[in-house]
Amino acid sequence: MLQPNTILSAIGIVFFCAASVCAVVDLLRTHPPEKGEQGVSLFLAFGCVSLLATLVLQGINTHSIVPLFNRFDTLTVYVVFLTIAALCLLRQHRTQGLMAILAPYATILLIAGFPAVNVRTELVPPQVVNTALFFHLVTVFAGYALFSLASILACAYLVQDHNLKYRHFGIVFEKFPALETLDHLMFRMIGTSFLLITISLALGYYLVHETGRMSEWITDPKVMATMATWTLCAVLVHMRANIGRHGTRLALFTVAGLALILFSMVGVHLVAQSIHNFVQIGSTLK
Amino acid sequence: MNMKISILGINFRTAPVEIRERASFTANDVPDVLRRICAEFPGAEAVLLSTCNRTEVYMSGIDADEKKQILIGMLLKESDPGRLAAVEKHFYTKKNMMATEHLLAVAAGLDSMVVGETEVLGQVKQAYMLTKQTLISGKTMDPLFHNAFRIAKRVHTETDVCRGRVSVSSIAVEFAEKVFENLTDKTVMIVGAGETAELALKSLIERGAREVLVLNRSLDKAIMLAERYGGRAIQFELINDYLPRADIVISSTSAPHCVIHESSVRKAMETRHDLPLLLIDIAVPRDIETGVGALENVYLYNIDDLQRVAAENLAKRQKSVEKAWKIVKEGAMEIASVFESADLRDMLRKLDELGRNTTEIVLQKTLAKEKIAALPEDAREELRVVAQKVVGKFLAEPREALKRAAKNGQWKEYVKVVDDLFQFNAQRGPDRKEDTQEKKDV
């Protein structure tokens, strides 16, 4: 029999699928469809609500205050943060064309995480279950989400640059924002994500102290991957704020950052053993 | 309230500019002209639209065909019959359905020189507002224009008829807006002093471009152009020094060779830290080396690129014209039905009155007869009810038929028959004549 969290997460994924279809159709439609934009935002909002409800249920089932310990939870929290950030951005700027990149990307991640929805989780060491852990997780996921949003903006920048260079003045050219808008937003997102990841790393350092396993954590592949992301963030912020660099090369680096984030969130567990891996593969929740 | 709308007008298709400029009015002149028309034709409503390409008077309560010469005289302030006759051929008149369709087409930009231009809708709105201020619009012009604005917007949103820019200068601005978020902190450099470059510069300044640098072989010409647009004239030889400062470069010199080289743009981009640079080369032969376009974060367009986009946009607009006209025709029918529904109510009221009056006359004659007068009161009352029911039943089908006709667009044919059958002709004579005339027009 299907469990409630499975049903809720499936509903969430269906909403994201609907949002993806709507967003792509909107992007390719000739006229600017206000109703279509609202439809995408609504589907994404409903999808987020379903996914959050799933996470709450996961938390109740595992008696955990922060249910972030398997692939599904990790990707779901990341997608929820990313979607909320994108919806906030959409309210402030006319960036609706970007939803055609974001919604399918988020949907693919959710589908990839879905098989792990009921994988049993192992709780983190009790001495680190505190407010610092909560903020460590919130800041790192918010940082990842904002950097990913910057990467999506960078993708749009590269597409728009290609359109302008090779004179492809079609629907996508019309609907995507101006290069400068994308460049400004990209920098804002990278700057904020740099700040959040820095806070998260500092909190992580504090938590490591609490467990007394300093040497193990420092050499942990997940920590190293996150450090690499942070370094890339720092380089991008420096290039933009101190050297004043702009343009396609910066956008390419930002897109590369997305790969780094995905690796540090999910990929690292596939290629190496990490202390961050709290998942006991194979057993499911009763 | 039958739709009695007529138009007298002159436009770029029917008259040369020498005639059009005589019938051109500023917003300040319009109220006077409207007052003169309404003083000449009391009870009439009129809206005067005057743009660089057309002058049209939309009227209700005036037959533009019959009063054509008087109206032309008022527009041109001309009273000599000979001179009026000479210009009369440039003016056109349209009535009722044709007039409504024409107004909708004008408001939607379908009758404009550049199909789909949206500026004319604002001008039609302004013309209507001027009439409102002069208190010369009313029960015909108000619904007509409100519906016209609604239908014009429908044409703009439901078709591609006004999508995409079609002039070289506006396309240059469109490119600038796709590269830069806003132009208020941007520097525009004009190299040469060509007419198209100046038009593009004007559009960029209208969108808030902050600084203008003008470079020309002749410094005097550069100074003149710079003064016109609040810019700075720069000696042509300093082009490479100023290139890094420019965000948008529009080049239109008559030089037989390139004046902006790849090496200088590459150097400028280093100074700019890869901030995007938009270069528009309108000159033939080209002013900017083609290799410049391959540089990172540099966007170079030549006259062919701009003209190709203009042609594509125009073709897209032309494709949508048929669909736009369909909406216009539907809209004209909708407006006609607005007026016809008022006519329907009027006609049904007349039929009811006719039925009641006829029953009353016959009843009075019948009840006055001795045999009937002797009947008890309840029997006489019964007789009255029966008579009213018979007439009611008799008129029920014509009433329904009229309602159906109004719905199905057959109103004109039916109303004529009903007029003839029930002898309402006396009141509706002029309408019939008008309708016949309109059929001839069609």
CA distance B138 to A149: 56
How distant, in Å, are the alpha carbons of A119, A121, A279, B189 from that of A282? Answer: 7, 10, 9, 67
For residue A177, pLDDT over 50 is answered with yes
pTM of the model: 0.71
CA distance A31 to B119: 20
Comparing A108 with B409, the larger pLDDT belongs to A108
Our CA angle for B41, B335, B101, nearest 5°, is 80
Phi, psi of B162 (to 5 degrees): -120, 20
Give pairs for B147-151: CB < 8 Å, separation 24+: B147/B331, B147/B334, B147/B335, B147/B338, B148/B100, B148/B103, B148/B104, B148/B107, B148/B124, B148/B331, B148/B335, B149/B107, B149/B121, B149/B124, B149/B125, B150/B331, B151/B104, B151/B107, B151/B108, B151/B327, B151/B328, B151/B331, B151/B334, B151/B335
Provide the chain B residues 244-303 that lie in CB contact (below 8 A) with chain A: 273-276, 293, 296-297, 299, 301
Q: Which residues of B touch A161 (CB under 8 A)?
A: 297
Six token digits for residue A18: 């609907």
Closest by Cα among B175, B212, B169 to B190:
B212
> Which position has the token pair 């789909």?
B116
Helix (H, G, I), strand (E, B) or coil at B337: helix
Query: Three-state SS across chain A?
Result: CCCHHHHHHHHHHHHHHHHHHHHHHHHHCCCCCHHHHHHHHHHHHHHHHHHHHHHHHHHHHHCCCCCCCCHHHHHHHHHHHHHHHHHHHHHHCCCHHHHHHHHHHHHHHHHHHHHHCCEEECCCCHHHCCHHHHHHHHHHHHHHHHHHHHHHHHHHHHHHHHHHHCCCCCHHHHHCCCHHHHHHHHHHHHHHHHHHHHHHHHHHHHHHHHHCCHHHHHCCHHHHHHHHHHHHHHHHHHHHHCCCCCCHHHHHHHHHHHHHHHHHHHHHHHHCCCCCCCEEEEEECC
| DSSP H or E run through B321 | helix B303-367
Which range, A65-74, A113-122, B68-77, has the best average confidence (pLDDT)?
Answer: B68-77
Question: Contact, B90 vs B19, CB < 8 A?
Answer: yes
CA distance B262 to B167: 28
Per-residue pLDDT band for B328 (boundaries 50, 70, 90) equals very high
Per-residue pLDDT band for B340 (boundaries 50, 70, 90) equals confident
Q: At what angle do helices B168-179 and B195-206 cross, to 10 degrees?
A: 50
Q: Do A184 and B309 touch (CB under 8 A)?
A: no
Q: Which residues of B touch A240 (CB under 8 A)?
A: none
In this predicted structure, what is the pLDDT of residue B2?
Answer: 56
Nearest CB neighbour to A180, from listed B157, B180, B274: B180
Cα within 13 Å of Cα(B64), Cβ side? 26
Per-residue pLDDT tens over the stretch B179-238 = 998 899 999 999 987 777 888 888 899 888 889 999 998 889 899 989 989 999 999 999
Segment B326-340 shows an average pLDDT of 86
Q: Which residues of A touch B299 (CB under 8 A)?
A: 164-165
Q: Do A164 and B178 touch (CB under 8 A)?
A: yes
Q: Which residues of A touch B177 (CB under 8 A)?
A: 178
CB burial of B24-54 (b: ≥16 within 10 Å; e: otherwise) equals bbeeeebbebbeebbeebeebbbbbbbbebb
> What is the percentage of chain B residues whose pLDDT exceeds 90?
34
Per-residue pLDDT band for A34 (boundaries 50, 70, 90) equals low
Per-residue pLDDT tens over the stretch B98-117 = 999 999 999 999 998 888 88
Cβ-based neighbours of B157, under 8 Å, separated by 6 or more: A31
Question: Contact, B225 vs B234, CB < 8 A?
Answer: no
Q: Do A247 and B163 touch (CB under 8 A)?
A: no
Mutate to test the interface with A, among B157, B272, B297, B316 (most CBs of A within 10 A): B297
In this predicted structure, what is the pLDDT of residue B91?
Answer: 94
Written as one letter, the residue type at B208 is: G
Helix (H, G, I), strand (E, B) or coil at B260: strand
CA distance B56 to B228: 34
Per-residue pLDDT band for A122 (boundaries 50, 70, 90) equals low
Cβ-based neighbours of A203, under 8 Å, separated by 6 or more: A132, A133, A135, A136, A139
Closest by Cα among A114, A45, A56, A55 to A86:
A45
List the single residue in B with minimal CA-CA distance to A32. B157
* B178–chain A nearest CA distance, Å: 4
> What is the percentage of chain B residues whose pLDDT exceeds 70?
94
Sign of torsion over alpha carbons B152, B121, B22, B141:
positive
Q: Do A246 and B175 touch (CB under 8 A)?
A: no
| DSSP H or E run through B349 | helix B303-367
For residue B433, pLDDT over 70 is answered with no
Asked if the C-beta of B177 comes within 8 angstroms of chain A's C-beta atoms, the answer is yes
Nearest CB neighbour to B160, from listed A30, A177, A244: A30
Cβ-based neighbours of B228, under 8 Å, separated by 6 or more: none
Six token digits for residue B10: 């002159």
| DSSP H or E run through B234 | strand B232-235
Comparing A135 with B434, the larger pLDDT belongs to A135
Comparing A245 with B432, the larger pLDDT belongs to A245
Please confirm, yes or no, whether B258 is among the known catalytic residues: no
| Inter-chain Cβ pairs, chain A and chain B, closer than 8 A | 54
In this predicted structure, what is the pLDDT of residue B248?
Answer: 95
Q: Do A169 and B179 touch (CB under 8 A)?
A: no
Whether the complex's predicted ipTM is more than 0.90 is answered with no
Segment A78-105 shows an average pLDDT of 90
CA distance B28 to B145: 21
Q: Do B274 and A247 touch (CB under 8 A)?
A: yes
Strand partners, B48: B57
CA distance B338 to B332: 10
CA dihedral B202, B205, B209, B215 (to 10 degrees): 40
Cα within 13 Å of Cα(B17), Cβ side? 1
* A254–chain B nearest CA distance, Å: 16
Segment B390-416 shows an average pLDDT of 79
List the single residue in B with minimal CA-CA distance to A33. B157
Length of chain A: 286
In this predicted structure, what is the pLDDT of residue A120?
Answer: 63
Q: Which residues of A touch B293 (CB under 8 A)?
A: 165
Q: Do B160 and A245 touch (CB under 8 A)?
A: no
List the single residue in B with minimal CA-CA distance to A167. B305
For residue A285, pLDDT over 50 is answered with no
Six token digits for residue B268: 């400028």
Catalytic annotation, pick one of B38, B52, B162, B258: B52
Six token digits for residue A203: 């909190």
Segment B234-253 shows an average pLDDT of 93
Q: Which residues of A touch B312 (CB under 8 A)?
A: 169
Length of chain B: 442
